[in-house]
Amino acid sequence: MKQIFEWNRLLFNELPEIFLLEVIFRSTVMFIILLLTLKLAGKRGVKQLSIFETVIIIALGSAAGDPMFYEDVGIVPAIIVFTVIIVLYRIVTWLTGKSKKFEEFIEGKTECLINDGKFSLTSFRKEALAQDEFFAELRIKSIEHLGQVKHAFIETSGEISVFYYKDEEVGYGLPILPLLFEAKSKIIPKDGIYSCSFCGNTTEQKKGTATCQVCQKEEWVESINTRRIT
Protein backbone atom coordinates (compact mmCIF):
# COMPACT_ATOMS: atom_id res chain seq x y z
CA MET A 1 0.00 0.00 0.00
CA LYS A 2 1.37 3.36 -1.03
CA GLN A 3 2.15 5.72 1.83
CA ILE A 4 0.45 9.12 1.80
CA PHE A 5 3.48 10.82 3.35
CA GLU A 6 7.17 10.15 2.90
CA TRP A 7 7.81 10.18 6.62
CA ASN A 8 11.60 10.18 6.52
CA ARG A 9 11.64 13.19 4.17
CA LEU A 10 8.86 14.94 6.09
CA LEU A 11 10.46 14.56 9.51
CA PHE A 12 14.17 14.56 8.72
CA ASN A 13 14.40 15.66 5.07
CA GLU A 14 16.38 12.47 4.54
CA LEU A 15 19.23 13.83 6.66
CA PRO A 16 21.28 11.64 9.01
CA GLU A 17 20.30 11.70 12.67
CA ILE A 18 23.69 13.18 13.59
CA PHE A 19 22.51 16.35 11.82
CA LEU A 20 20.27 17.04 14.83
CA LEU A 21 23.40 17.85 16.85
CA GLU A 22 24.33 20.36 14.18
CA VAL A 23 20.85 21.88 14.49
CA ILE A 24 21.39 22.36 18.23
CA PHE A 25 24.73 24.04 17.57
CA ARG A 26 23.32 26.25 14.78
CA SER A 27 20.37 27.30 16.94
CA THR A 28 22.62 28.26 19.85
CA VAL A 29 24.97 30.27 17.65
CA MET A 30 22.14 32.14 15.87
CA PHE A 31 20.40 32.84 19.18
CA ILE A 32 23.57 34.49 20.52
CA ILE A 33 24.09 36.43 17.26
CA LEU A 34 20.50 37.71 17.35
CA LEU A 35 20.89 38.74 20.98
CA LEU A 36 24.12 40.64 20.38
CA THR A 37 22.87 42.25 17.14
CA LEU A 38 19.73 43.64 18.78
CA LYS A 39 21.79 44.69 21.80
CA LEU A 40 23.98 46.79 19.50
CA ALA A 41 20.91 48.19 17.72
CA GLY A 42 19.90 49.94 20.95
CA LYS A 43 16.63 50.33 22.83
CA ARG A 44 14.93 52.43 20.19
CA GLY A 45 15.43 49.65 17.66
CA VAL A 46 13.18 47.36 19.67
CA LYS A 47 10.74 49.84 21.18
CA GLN A 48 8.08 48.41 23.53
CA LEU A 49 9.66 44.94 23.56
CA SER A 50 12.83 44.17 25.46
CA ILE A 51 15.83 43.01 23.43
CA PHE A 52 15.50 39.53 24.90
CA GLU A 53 11.80 39.27 24.04
CA THR A 54 12.52 40.39 20.47
CA VAL A 55 15.19 37.71 20.07
CA ILE A 56 12.76 35.03 21.24
CA ILE A 57 10.04 36.21 18.84
CA ILE A 58 12.39 36.33 15.83
CA ALA A 59 13.98 32.97 16.61
CA LEU A 60 10.69 31.15 17.21
CA GLY A 61 9.06 32.81 14.21
CA SER A 62 11.82 31.66 11.89
CA ALA A 63 11.87 28.16 13.36
CA ALA A 64 8.12 27.82 12.94
CA GLY A 65 7.87 29.40 9.51
CA ASP A 66 10.54 27.52 7.57
CA PRO A 67 9.11 23.99 7.94
CA MET A 68 5.67 25.34 7.02
CA PHE A 69 6.78 26.56 3.60
CA TYR A 70 9.93 24.74 2.57
CA GLU A 71 9.90 21.03 1.82
CA ASP A 72 13.66 20.80 2.33
CA VAL A 73 13.27 21.73 6.02
CA GLY A 74 12.34 18.79 8.20
CA ILE A 75 9.87 19.04 11.09
CA VAL A 76 12.11 17.27 13.62
CA PRO A 77 15.01 19.73 13.19
CA ALA A 78 12.51 22.56 13.65
CA ILE A 79 11.26 20.95 16.88
CA ILE A 80 14.88 20.69 18.05
CA VAL A 81 15.30 24.41 17.32
CA PHE A 82 12.21 25.19 19.43
CA THR A 83 13.55 23.05 22.26
CA VAL A 84 16.98 24.70 22.17
CA ILE A 85 15.45 28.20 22.15
CA ILE A 86 13.24 27.41 25.13
CA VAL A 87 16.19 25.93 27.04
CA LEU A 88 18.30 29.02 26.24
CA TYR A 89 15.38 31.22 27.28
CA ARG A 90 15.23 29.44 30.65
CA ILE A 91 18.99 29.76 31.11
CA VAL A 92 19.08 33.46 30.26
CA THR A 93 16.05 34.14 32.47
CA TRP A 94 17.74 32.31 35.36
CA LEU A 95 21.00 34.24 34.85
CA THR A 96 19.20 37.62 34.74
CA GLY A 97 17.58 36.76 38.06
CA LYS A 98 20.92 35.81 39.61
CA SER A 99 23.19 38.55 38.24
CA LYS A 100 22.39 42.27 38.13
CA LYS A 101 25.25 42.91 35.70
CA PHE A 102 24.03 40.21 33.33
CA GLU A 103 20.49 41.61 33.53
CA GLU A 104 21.76 45.09 32.62
CA PHE A 105 23.75 43.65 29.72
CA ILE A 106 20.76 41.77 28.32
CA GLU A 107 17.95 44.21 29.06
CA GLY A 108 19.91 47.45 29.38
CA LYS A 109 19.10 49.91 32.15
CA THR A 110 17.01 53.02 32.55
CA GLU A 111 18.98 56.17 31.67
CA CYS A 112 18.18 59.74 32.68
CA LEU A 113 18.15 61.94 29.57
CA ILE A 114 16.93 65.18 31.13
CA ASN A 115 17.76 66.32 34.64
CA ASP A 116 16.32 69.59 35.96
CA GLY A 117 15.46 70.87 32.51
CA LYS A 118 18.85 70.16 30.89
CA PHE A 119 20.23 67.25 28.92
CA SER A 120 22.26 64.67 30.79
CA LEU A 121 24.95 64.55 28.13
CA THR A 122 26.69 61.41 29.41
CA SER A 123 23.48 59.35 29.27
CA PHE A 124 22.30 60.90 26.01
CA ARG A 125 25.50 59.92 24.21
CA LYS A 126 25.03 56.28 25.25
CA GLU A 127 21.71 55.98 23.48
CA ALA A 128 21.14 55.64 19.74
CA LEU A 129 18.70 58.53 19.86
CA ALA A 130 18.79 61.61 17.64
CA GLN A 131 17.91 64.97 19.17
CA ASP A 132 15.06 65.61 16.72
CA GLU A 133 13.60 62.16 17.42
CA PHE A 134 13.74 62.84 21.15
CA PHE A 135 12.12 66.27 20.71
CA ALA A 136 9.32 64.63 18.70
CA GLU A 137 8.66 62.25 21.62
CA LEU A 138 8.44 65.20 24.01
CA ARG A 139 6.14 67.20 21.72
CA ILE A 140 3.77 64.22 21.58
CA LYS A 141 3.52 64.65 25.37
CA SER A 142 2.54 68.34 24.89
CA ILE A 143 5.93 69.69 26.00
CA GLU A 144 7.02 73.03 24.52
CA HIS A 145 10.38 73.53 26.23
CA LEU A 146 12.75 71.76 28.59
CA GLY A 147 11.93 74.12 31.44
CA GLN A 148 8.69 72.16 31.86
CA VAL A 149 10.58 68.88 32.38
CA LYS A 150 12.08 67.92 35.72
CA HIS A 151 13.30 64.49 34.64
CA ALA A 152 13.01 62.35 31.51
CA PHE A 153 14.13 58.73 31.28
CA ILE A 154 14.56 56.24 28.49
CA GLU A 155 13.28 52.92 29.81
CA THR A 156 14.64 49.48 28.95
CA SER A 157 11.71 49.10 26.52
CA GLY A 158 12.80 52.23 24.62
CA GLU A 159 9.83 54.25 25.87
CA ILE A 160 10.37 57.80 27.15
CA SER A 161 8.94 58.56 30.60
CA VAL A 162 8.65 62.17 31.75
CA PHE A 163 8.22 63.86 35.14
CA TYR A 164 7.04 67.46 35.01
CA TYR A 165 7.57 70.54 37.09
CA LYS A 166 4.47 71.94 38.73
CA ASP A 167 3.11 74.98 36.90
CA GLU A 168 4.44 77.37 39.53
CA GLU A 169 7.91 75.75 39.28
CA VAL A 170 8.25 75.95 35.50
CA GLY A 171 11.32 77.97 34.54
CA TYR A 172 12.94 79.13 31.32
CA GLY A 173 14.09 76.32 29.06
CA LEU A 174 15.18 75.30 25.57
CA PRO A 175 12.22 75.50 23.14
CA ILE A 176 11.62 72.28 21.22
CA LEU A 177 8.93 73.57 18.88
CA PRO A 178 10.45 73.45 15.37
CA LEU A 179 9.79 77.10 14.49
CA LEU A 180 11.48 78.34 17.67
CA PHE A 181 14.32 75.80 17.80
CA GLU A 182 15.29 76.33 14.17
CA ALA A 183 15.91 80.00 14.96
CA LYS A 184 19.10 78.98 16.82
CA SER A 185 22.10 81.11 16.03
CA LYS A 186 25.65 81.86 17.11
CA ILE A 187 24.71 85.54 17.20
CA ILE A 188 22.67 86.61 20.24
CA PRO A 189 20.48 89.44 18.92
CA LYS A 190 19.65 91.10 22.27
CA ASP A 191 20.19 90.76 25.99
CA GLY A 192 17.98 88.10 27.55
CA ILE A 193 17.68 84.48 28.68
CA TYR A 194 18.96 81.93 26.18
CA SER A 195 19.39 78.15 26.05
CA CYS A 196 22.23 76.23 24.48
CA SER A 197 20.77 74.35 21.51
CA PHE A 198 22.98 71.34 22.22
CA CYS A 199 22.69 70.69 25.97
CA GLY A 200 19.81 72.94 27.08
CA ASN A 201 21.92 74.96 29.53
CA THR A 202 19.88 78.12 30.19
CA THR A 203 21.46 81.40 31.31
CA GLU A 204 21.27 85.16 30.88
CA GLN A 205 23.31 86.31 27.90
CA LYS A 206 24.43 89.65 26.53
CA LYS A 207 24.07 90.68 22.92
CA GLY A 208 26.84 89.21 20.76
CA THR A 209 28.38 85.74 20.94
CA ALA A 210 28.90 83.29 23.81
CA THR A 211 30.25 79.81 24.54
CA CYS A 212 28.22 77.38 26.64
CA GLN A 213 30.01 76.67 29.91
CA VAL A 214 28.64 73.10 29.98
CA CYS A 215 29.25 71.71 26.49
CA GLN A 216 31.41 74.42 24.87
CA LYS A 217 28.99 74.85 21.96
CA GLU A 218 28.12 78.28 20.57
CA GLU A 219 24.57 78.08 19.19
CA TRP A 220 21.76 79.59 21.28
CA VAL A 221 17.98 79.75 21.23
CA GLU A 222 15.91 82.36 23.05
CA SER A 223 14.35 80.61 26.05
CA ILE A 224 10.65 80.49 26.88
CA ASN A 225 8.86 79.73 30.16
CA THR A 226 5.29 78.91 29.13
CA ARG A 227 3.34 76.49 31.28
CA ARG A 228 2.10 73.16 30.00
CA ILE A 229 -1.35 72.97 28.40
CA THR A 230 -2.92 69.61 29.25
Tell me: pLDDT of 51 over 60. Answer: yes
**pLDDT score recorded for residue 156:** 78
Q: What is the pLDDT of residues 145-204, one digit of tens each?
A: 999 999 999 887 778 899 999 989 999 999 999 999 999 999 999 999 999 999 999 999
Helix locations, the chain, DSSP H? 7-12, 19-41, 51-69, 75-98, 100-107, 121-126, 131-140, 178-181
Taking 90 as the threshold, does the pLDDT of residue 125 lie above it?
no
Residue 55 — pLDDT band, cuts 50, 70, 90?
confident
Q: What is the pLDDT of residues 139-150, one digit of tens each?
A: 999 999 999 999
Amino acid present at 19: F
What's the CA dihedral at 163, 168, 171, 177 to 10 degrees? 70
Tens of pLDDT, residues 57-83 = 777 777 766 765 455 666 677 778 778
Q: Are the CB atoms for 215 and 121 separated by under 8 Å?
A: yes
Confidence of residue 1 (pLDDT cuts 50, 70, 90): very low
Distance CA 183, CA 219 (A): 10
89 versus 222: which is more confidently predicted? 222
Give the Cα separation of 169 and 87 in Å (integer): 52
**Cβ neighbours of residue 50 closer than 8 Å, sequence gap 6 or more:** 107, 156, 157
Dihedral pair phi/psi, residue 87, rounded to 5°: -65, -45
Is the pLDDT at 94 greater than 60? The verdict is yes
Buried b (16+ CB within 10 A) or exposed e, 132-153: eebbebbeeeebbbbbbbbbbb
The pTM score is: 0.63
pLDDT digits (tens, 9 = 90+) for 3-36: 666 666 667 666 677 777 877 787 777 777 667 7
Decide if pLDDT at 41 tops 70. no
**Beta strand pairing status for 202-205 and 149-154?**
unpaired
Give the residue ranges of DSSP H helices in 99-197.
100-107, 121-126, 131-140, 178-181
Q: Left (φ > 0), alpha (ψ -120 to 50) or beta: where does 142 sit?
A: left
Three-point CA angle 52, 56, 60, nearest 5°: 170
At residue 106, the pLDDT reads: 74
